[in-house]
Amino acid sequence: MDEEAGVVRVAFLNPLDTLSLEEVEDLTGLVVEPYQTTKSDFLYALAKHYPELGLPVPRRLRARAKRTSCSGSSS
């Protein structure tokens, strides 16, 4: 979120859904910069960042996340 610029970046399954974009803009008072995501990536992000929801973290994505976080460091 870039409040100074008045922009919030949001991942949508369908970033062309103007009704959803407008609803987020109305709720936040910011301009939405839409990004597209897959359903599995969206569910993974919800489970990982909001554990209080009690959603299971998909195994396939959990393994992929470990690989990408380990490969990002270069010594």
Distance CA 7, CA 12 (A): 15
Q: What is the pLDDT of residue 4?
A: 73
Query: CA end-to-end span of the chain, whole Å?
Result: 31
DSSP letter at 57?
A: P
> Is pLDDT of 75 > 50?
no
Report the share of the chain in percent with pLDDT over 90: 57
pLDDT 10s digits, 35-70: 999 998 999 999 999 999 998 887 765 556 665 556
> Is pLDDT of 72 > 50?
yes
| The two structure tokens encoding residue 56 | 């299971």
Report the share of the chain in percent with pLDDT over 70: 75
Domain boundaries, the chain: 7-71
What 24-30 contacts at long range (C-beta under 8 Å, 24+ apart), as own/partner pairs, is 30/1, 30/3, 30/6
